[in-house]
Amino acid sequence: MPLDAWISLAVVIAVFPLMAFSRLGPDIVLLGAVILLLTLGILEPSQALGGFSSTGLFTVAFMYVLVTAIRQTGGIDLIIRHVLGRPRRESGALLRLLLPVASLSGFLNNTPVVATYIPAVLSWSRRVRVPAHRLLMPLSFASILGGTITLFGTSTNLVVHGLLVDRSPELAMGLFDLAWVGVPVAVIGLAYLILLGPRLLPARRGAAAAFENPREFTIEMEVDPEGPLVNRTVEEAGLRHLQELFLVEIERDGNVVSVVGPGERLKGGDRLVFAGTSEGAVELQQVRGLMPSRHGESSLEKDFKERRLVEAVVSSQCQFVGQRIRDGHFRTLYGAAVLAVCRGGERVAGNLGQVRLQPADVLLLEARPPFIERHRQSRDFLLISQLNGAARPVHEKAWLAWSILAGVVALASLGVMSMMNAAMLGAAMVLLTGCCSVGAAKRGLDTQVLLTIAASFGLGAALESSGAAAALAGGALALADGNPLLLLVGTYLLVALLTELVTNNAAAVITFPVVMASAESLGVNPMPFVVAVMFAASASFLTPIGYQTNLMVHGPGGYRFGDFLRVGGLLNLITAAVALTLIPLIWPF
C-alpha cells in the first residue's frame, strides 16, 4: 500500500477506540480525523466536505423535522392512549406495547418514539401491575427492530442508500424493498421478546421506586418566626454552602420558591427543603433559628405551578460526567437542583455533592417550568420527563402531521419523487401548516448525528482514494477464500461489532467503501453486502452504549450491563441468522 493508504488506515483505526472510550463526541472525533487528513493532503477539500452535500444527509435532516412535528402535535401520545389499554397478562401487555412501537419506528426516528413512550410506560406499568424493567428493554429493542423495515426506519439506512445511489444510481432501492428481510427479522425478534425475553431478565428496581419516598433523601426545616434568620438572605444565614446538604426550595404562604438563589430573604414560618442524607440533619440543628418542620406531608408531594419535579437521564456527552455535582455548579448552569441520583436501580447514598455523575444516571431534579422545553433537546440528557402535573399536548393537528408523513411515504414509495424531495416537501408542509414551529424544528435537528454522518463520508473517501479500501478488500477476499457467502457473514459480523462500540452511522459509512471494493473485486452483485451493512448497523442489542435508545432505558429500568448481554446476545444471534439466510435469497450474488 502507498503511504497515503497507511496513514488513512492508521487514522481510521485510531478513530474507533477514541469514539468508544473517550468522552469526546463522535462528531468531534470524526471531524478532527477529517481535518487531519485534509491537512496532510490525503483528502481534497471537495472530498472532505462531500458529506455535507449528500442526499442521504439532507433526507435525514428533513425527517427529523417531520418527526418533531408529530411529537409536538402529540401524534405519538395519541397512539399511546389508544393502544396500551388494560391487558390481563404480561404477554398481552408486551404485545400492545411492542407492535405499535415497531410499526412507528419503521417510519419515524426511534429516539423520539422511545422518549415519548418511556414516561407513559412507567405510569402504565403501575396500572397493569407489570414491573417496568420487563417492558423498557423490550421497548428499546422493538424500536430497533422496527427500523429495519423501511429505508426511512433509521438514519443509517438513508445514509447508506445515499452512498449507494451516488456510486451506482441503477442500484437505487425502493422505500419498502428492505421489508422482504426486515419484516421477518422484526416478527421473529418480537416473538422472542414477548415469549422468552422477559424470562431472562432478573428482578430490577427502577428509578421510580428509588425516588418513591421523598423523605428518604430530603430534610425539611422551618424558619423560627422569632429567630435570628428572619429577613436574612440564604447566604447570610449560612445555608448556601452546607457540607452535606443543598437548599432546593422554600414553601411560603401556599406557594413555592424553587431553585433558591443566595440572595433570597428568609421569612418567619418558611418551610425549607434540603436535599441530602439524614446525617446532614445534625448540621442543620446547629443553625440557630431553624426548627424541624411540623407538617406531615412532604413538600415535594404537593403540586405547585412554580415548580416541576423532573427525571433526567444523563447522556455520555454530558459535560458533568466524571465531575462531582457540587464542583460542576449544576444548579447555576441548568437552573435546577439535584434531589437524588439513581444508578443501576438503586439510589446513590451518601453526600449528594460528592457524587460523580456517570452516563445513564437518573437524576431527580427540582426545576422551574421552562426547564423541560429548554433542555429537552440538550445533548447533556437522553431523556427528560416530568413527574408531577405533566401537561398533555394539544392533539388538534396530530391528524394533519400524520397525513403529511403518509403523503411523504406515498410519494417516495410510488416513485413520484425521490426520498429527499419527498422529505423536503413534508418538512416544508409541517412548517407552513403550523404543525411545527421553526424554533422546534431547529431544536429537533440532531446536529451531532448530522455532523457524524458528514464527517464519516470524509473518512470513507480517504480510504477509497488512497487505495486503503482496495487493499483491505483484497485481505478480506483472501480470508473468505473468494467465497461470497463467507464474505457476507464477515461483513455482517464486522459492522455489528463496530456498532456496539461506536455510532452505527460511522460504522456503516466507513466500512461501505471496503465492502463495495470487495464485491467489485469478487465480481458479484454488491447489493447483498450493502443490505447486510444496513441490518448489521442496526443490530445493536448487546450493550447499553451501542444504541441511544438502549442508554435511554438503562437508568429508568434499573438495568445492569449484563442484562443487555443476557437478553440482547440471543437476539443478536437470531436477527443475524434470519438476515443472513434471507439476504442472499432476495438479492442473489
How many helices (H) and strands (E) would you count in the chain? 24, 10
Q: Tell me which long-range contacts 470-477 makes (C-beta under 8 A, separation of at least 24).
A: 470/517, 470/521, 471/1, 471/5, 472/9, 472/514, 472/517, 473/514, 473/517, 473/518, 473/520, 473/521, 474/521, 476/514, 476/518, 477/518, 477/521, 477/522
C-alpha angle with apex 222: 216 to 225, nearest 5 degrees? 175
Structural domain includes residue 85: yes
Contact indicator for 544, 550 with CB cutoff of 8 Å: yes
Q: Do both 380 and 329 map to the same domain?
A: yes
Together in a domain, 179 and 146: yes
Pairing of strands 346-347, 290-292: unpaired
CB distance 266 to 233 below 8 Å: yes
Q: What is the b/e burial string over 363-392, where b = at least 16 CB atoms within 10 angstroms of the residue's CB?
A: bbbbbeeebbebbbbebbbbbbbbbeeeee
Q: What Å distances lie between residue 229 and 58, 220, 250, 267, 290, CA to CA?
A: 59, 16, 14, 8, 8
Closest CA to 466 of 28, 33, 44, 164: 44
pLDDT at position 191 is 94
Strand order in the sheet with 362-367: 346-347, 336-343, 362-367, 308-314, 381-386
* Phi, psi angles (nearest 5°) of residue 394: -80, 130
Please classify residue 242 by burial: count the beta carbons closer than 10 Å to its beta carbon, then call 0-12 exposed, 13-18 middle and 19+ buried.
Answer: middle
Asked if the structure places residue 584 within a domain, the reply is no
Residue pair 498/458 in contact (Cβ under 8 Å)? The answer is no
Number of domains in the chain: 3
The residue from 301, 334, 367 where one domain ends is: 301
Same domain, 66 and 201: yes
SS3 content of the chain, % helix, strand, coil (to 5): 55, 10, 30
Burial class (CB in 10 A: 0-12, 13-18, 19+), 21: exposed
Residue 254 lies in a domain: yes
**CATH number of the CATH domain containing 343:** 3.30.70.1450
Give the dihedral sign, CA 107/112/115/121.
negative
Residue 483 domain-assigned (yes or no): no
CA distance 86 to 96: 9
pLDDT reported for residue 532: 93
∠ Cα 520 522 527 (to 5°): 55
Q: Which of these three, 367, 386, 405, is where a domain ends? A: 386
| Calpha distance 459→453 (Å, rounded) | 10
- Give me the residue label for grid cell 437508568: 555
Give the pLDDT confidence score for residue 298 in this predicted structure. Answer: 63
Judge contact between 491 and 65, C-beta under 8 A.
no
pLDDT at 142: 93
Are 314 and 293 contained in the same domain? no
Distance from the Cα of residue 196 to its chain's centroid:
25
Partners of residue 273 on adjacent β-strands: 220, 249
- 67 with 202, same domain? yes
Same domain? 228 vs 200: no
Domain span holding position 314: 308-386
The model's pLDDT over 443-494, given as tens digits with 9 standing for 90+, comes to 778 787 788 888 888 888 888 788 887 777 777 777 777 788 888 998 898 8
Residues 316 and 292 in one domain: no
For residue 436, being part of any structural domain is answered with: yes
The rounded distance, in Å, linking the Cα atoms of 513 and 460 is 6
Q: pLDDT at position 455, please?
A: 86
Amino acid identity, position 498:
L
Residues 318 and 370 both lie in one domain: yes
Instruction: Supply the DSSP string of 328-393, one letter for each residue.
Output: TTHHHHHSEEEEEEEETTEEPPS-GGGPBP-TTPEEEEEE-THHHHHHTT-TTEEEEEE-SSPPPP
Q: Edge-to-edge strand order for the sheet containing 290-292?
A: 255-258, 245-252, 271-276, 218-223, 290-292
Q: Tell me whether residue 129 is in a domain.
A: yes
Sequence-ordered alpha helix ranges (H) in 467-503 = 468-480, 484-501
- Considering the domain boundaries, does residue 588 fall inside one? no
Beta bridge partners of 258: 249
> Which cell goes with 236?
447570610
Question: Cα separation of 87 and 289, whole Å?
Answer: 54
* 161 plus 258 within the same structural domain: no
Statement to judge: residues 246 and 177 lie in one domain: no
CA–CA separation, 562 vs 191, rounded Å? 22
- Domain co-membership, 72 together with 200: yes
pLDDT by 10s per residue, the chain, length 589? 778 888 888 888 888 788 767 777 778 888 888 899 888 888 888 888 888 888 888 888 898 898 888 878 888 777 777 788 778 888 888 898 899 999 988 888 887 788 878 878 887 887 788 888 888 899 999 999 998 999 888 888 888 888 888 888 888 888 889 999 999 999 999 999 998 887 888 777 666 666 666 666 677 788 888 888 888 888 888 887 776 677 878 888 777 787 777 888 888 888 888 877 666 666 677 778 888 776 666 656 566 666 777 888 888 777 778 888 777 677 777 777 787 888 877 777 766 777 888 888 888 887 777 777 777 667 778 777 776 545 455 567 888 988 998 899 899 888 888 888 998 999 999 999 988 888 888 877 878 778 888 888 888 888 878 888 777 777 777 777 778 888 899 889 888 888 877 777 888 888 888 888 888 888 889 999 999 999 998 888 888 877 778 888 887 888 888 888 889 889 999 999 999 999 999 999 8
Q: What is the DSSP letter of 227?
A: S
pLDDT at 277: 65
pLDDT given for residue 169 in this prediction = 87
Task: Give the separation between CA 492 and CA 487, rounded to whole angstroms.
Answer: 9
Q: Taking CA 185 as the corner, what is the angle to CA 97 and CA 544, rounded to the nearest 5 degrees? A: 65
Domain-embedded: residue 150: yes
Task: Among 263, 285, 301, identify where a domain stops.
Answer: 301
The C-alpha cell 429500568 sits at 557
Quick one: pLDDT at residue 183?
94
Question: What is the DSSP secondary-structure string of 516-585?
Answer: HHHHHHHTS-SHHHHHHHHHHHH---S-TTSSHHHHHHHTTTT--HHHHHHHHHHHHHHHHHHHHHHHHH
117 and 183 housed in the same domain = yes
Task: Give the type of residue at 316.
Answer: S
Beta bridge partners of 363: 312, 341
**Angle subtended at Cα 210 by Cα 197 and Cα 82, rounded to the nearest 5 degrees:** 55
